[in-house]
Structure 1
């Protein structure tokens, strides 16, 4: 079977959902539990370690969405829209909050980051069934 944009969209959205759900369920809870004394070290290490992974995962999602949207059906549009919500939430909320949290832990900013992260997780997970429908349809 030849590779189609929809199959690549499915792979990219599944990769993204797996990454995002790992961050939401494992990474951020540990980050949130970091003591103020360890915050700078732990947050800095987290930021340095996750940035290249975010770049690869997001590039895959963007490329797959762009290719699939060249000839979209409703399921492709839905998968791309859900992915856009997740990526947009990162750009508009999570990344700036991480920048502000680099100065030190702030419970209000951390709560906003965790809320934004839940939005990303739901959106990334929602993209997968839509991409599956596009791939098998």
Structure 2
């Protein structure tokens, strides 16, 4: 396996994990403190965050697919690659099926229930991103 690819993968996964922890610990909890104009605030958040998370998702996706190909060929250790791919799938799935629908509700204005659901979904994403970071570190050490 190419150790450079494993390191690049680790860097991208670590960047996403740091981003995800920041969103979960700082950004989303602050939503509840926006007292006026929440719908506009939410739309601005969505526009801005896309510029950060989009490249991180693309980077993780590309390196994960490349690593999966190498694992199938037998030139990358299968277990950390598969574990990382499962974590990424969980992040992407909970984003599409959990976070995006809650953001659509919040797009219309403040909704405490949608915010609570978003925090729960984001806790899952944060755990999966952290587990992916562990798998990526394992891959570098393998």
Structure 1 vs Structure 2 CA RMSD? 1.4
User: What's the TM-score once normalised by structure 1's chain length?
Assistant: 0.91
Indicate conservation of the 8 Å contact 2:12/2:59, yes or no: yes
Displacement, 1:32?
Answer: 2.6
8 A contact 2:16–2:53 mirrored in 1: no
Q: Which residue among 119, 126, 132 is the counterpart of 2:124? A: 119
Match of residue 75, structure 1, among 69, 80, 88 = 80
Question: 1:16 maps to which residue?
Answer: 16
Mean CA deviation greater in 4-13 or 15-24:
4-13
- Given the alignment of the two structures, is residue 44 of structure 1 paired with residue 43 of structure 2, yes or no? yes
Name the stretch that deviates more: 18-27 or 38-47: 38-47
* Distance in 2 between residues matched to 1:44 and 1:53, nearest whole Å: 15
* Runs of 5+ unmatched residues, structure 2: 72-77
Show the counterpart of 1:34: 34
Which residue of 68, 79, 84 corresponds with 2:89? 84
Deviations 1:110-137 (A, max 9, x none): 1101100110001001111111111121
What secondary structure is seen at the aligned counterpart in 1 of 2:69?
coil
Offset at residue 87 of structure 1 (A) = 1.6
Corresponding position: 1:134 with 2:139: yes
In structure 1, list runs of 5 or more residues that go unmatched.
none
Shift of 1:15: 1.1
Query: Counterpart in 2 of 1:65?
Result: 64
TM-superposed deviation, 1:3: 5.0
